[in-house]
C-alpha cells in the first residue's frame, strides 16, 4: 500500500504530458495534461491497453484514423495494437487520467509520419 499526492510528481514536459502517480508493477496510473495546440507522437502498445478519462477541457484522441472528440466525463478505451494520437486543438488546457495495464516496459511503439 502507498499514498501519493499529485504535487509530489511533475508532468514529463513541464506543463504537459503524463504525470505518473504509479508506474507498475501491474498497471500505470497518470494524470495527463496538454496545453492548447500540444500533442504527442502517434503510437501503439503491443501488450498494454490504455484508458483516458477526461477531467477538464476538450481533446481529440485519434484511434486507428478515427477522430474522437472527448469532453469531461467521457472515457475512451484503446486496445493493444490500436494506433492512437492525442491532440488538443482547443483554446484551453485538457486534463485527463490515463491507465495502462497490464504493465509491460517497454511496450510503446512510436509510429513515424502518422497522418489521420
Domain annotation for the chain: domains and CATH numbers: 13-109 (2.60.120.10)
Which 3 state secondary structure label does DSSP give 41? coil
CA-to-CA distance for 51 and 57, rounded, in angstroms? 17
Residue with cell 495534461: 33
Low-confidence residues of the chain: pLDDT under 50: none
Q: What is the pLDDT of residue 30?
A: 98
Q: What is the pLDDT of residue 113?
A: 87
Q: Which three cell numbers stand for residue 91?
A: 483554446
Q: What is the pLDDT of residue 31?
A: 98
CA-to-CA distance for 42 and 113, rounded, in angstroms? 9
The vertex-58 CA angle with 53 and 61, nearest 5°, equals: 65
Q: What is the pLDDT of residue 116?
A: 77
Q: What is the pLDDT of residue 8?
A: 95
Amino acid at each position: 500500500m502507498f499514498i501519493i499526492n499529485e504535487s509530489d510528481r511533475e508532468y514529463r514536459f513541464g506543463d504537459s504530458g503524463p504525470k505518473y502517480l504509479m508506474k507498475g508493477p501491474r498497471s500505470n496510473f497518470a494524470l495527463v495534461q496538454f496545453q492548447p495546440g500540444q500533442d504527442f507522437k502517434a503510437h501503439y502498445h503491443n501488450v498494454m491497453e490504455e484508458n483516458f478519462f477526461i477531467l477538464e477541457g476538450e481533446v481529440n484522441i485519434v484511434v486507428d484514423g478515427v477522430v474522437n472528440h472527448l469532453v469531461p466525463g467521457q472515457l475512451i478505451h484503446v486496445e493493444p495494437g490500436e494506433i492512437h494520437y492525442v491532440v488538443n486543438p482547443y483554446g484551453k488546457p485538457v486534463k485527463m487520467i490515463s491507465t495502462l495495464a497490464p504493465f509491460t516496459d517497454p511496450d510503446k511503439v512510436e509510429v513515424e509520419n502518422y497522418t489521420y
